[in-house]
Structure 1
Amino acid sequence: MNHKYKLQSRHTIELVRNLLSQGIDRISLLLRHSDRHYSDNPRLEPFMGLNDSGKEYAFDLGKSFPIDLTPVFFSSHFGRCIETNYLIDKGFTSVTGRQLPHNALDSNLAPFYVKDVPETLKIMAKTGSAQFIRNWFDKTIDASVMLDPEATADRISDFMLSKLEALSPGQAAVCVTHDWNIFPVKQFKLGLCHEDALNVGYLDAVAFFEKDAQFFAVARQFDPVRVAWP
């Protein structure tokens, strides 16, 4: 099985630094996990951890993270997401010497939108993942199989903004998740057509922030979009 995703950690750091340069001092970062192992057996998908390159990438992201922001960690319960945050933590600490609170698990960062795993796998085997996502976004997949995609985007966005509001100035919520959690946010919150928008690479992110008493979300190489909250 051949999986090719670009490493986007440099773009993520640039995105964060750009927000800091605008005077933004609290950022909630929806971040895809780092490079990982794959299996031809889809039932093993939840158990695929980071490969050696992925571990190095996550550690390096932590080392490169702006020292003006102190990370606060949240993640999906999947091992690769926990590993990613752990290594970002260690990379950041290796530079700053700061001891950070432990990562907190949250179901909003996991694949909560998959309601019927066997049926989802069955449909994906017929359509392929790209067409499956398009069918999901077009709402042709029954809600008993996959949660409504707009409701999914709303739930993830609300979670990210709730974490943003809980931050103190000089903090960043680093929320490590899966590419499928980022897809609906880009489609339904940022208005980026799934097929036209840039792929979600490893350590790729959507950043949520507040400016002039309004809330926004932004992905690399696109303009910020205002999002409603609460």
Structure 2
Amino acid sequence: MKEKLTDRKLGPRLEPGEIDQTCASDKSASPAARPPRFKLRFTDFAIEKFMGNFIDRKTNKTKRKVYIPFDVSKTTGLKGLKLVQHYKKKTKMFVLNYWFNKKSKYTTIGEFRKGVFGVKQAQDKINEIIKDHTTDKGIWFKDPAQTIIEKETRIAQEVIIESQKITINQAIERYVKAGFPRKKGDTKRGSSIKRDCLYLLGHNKKVVVNLMYDGPDNKYRYSCGSYRHFSYLSSK
């Protein structure tokens, strides 16, 4: 009676062969049984020959870009390195996937160009990034993407500041047009003006002929209208 009650609650018993088949069936349905993900060899030759598949298996639509992981050791600094290829231009870019502040982020390493930027250049750049942005334990304490933004901003500011500076020729032109002024006011003596002209404008006949270094009263000024033709005087 007791044995019959137990059989009724547990259902029919499974034979050893049936248990193996059931386990195998469950295993085949699990994610572990899926085919291994394709990984690209980290060589210039493999990258050059590679062409990504841009068709989405689920939607059958064309992807704008595809990410392909490299077959590299997870214990090296190349962990997270991937190749991204864009559909339109078919360009291939090295990108580094990393975790910062509990978020998955990407930073661009560079575009693959045969003979110009390949695996060696990418690895060297990654080593620099890791050295400046991670601890000895490999923890990211600084975001490399933010570093790039700061660098680009700094360069833009330097370009703006540089564009606001006048050239040497412009400074000389202003100095000549102002009549060779001195710090204390007034203008320089004719002999000093002559010396400055020869130094700033060059030792050529146009400077000597067109500039008069002393006024008629021998004061600390010069009388000449040719300074308006500065480009002519300063040219060889």
TM-score by length of 2: 0.20
TM-score by length of 1: 0.20
- Report which of the two structures shows the higher radius of gyration computed on alpha carbons: 2
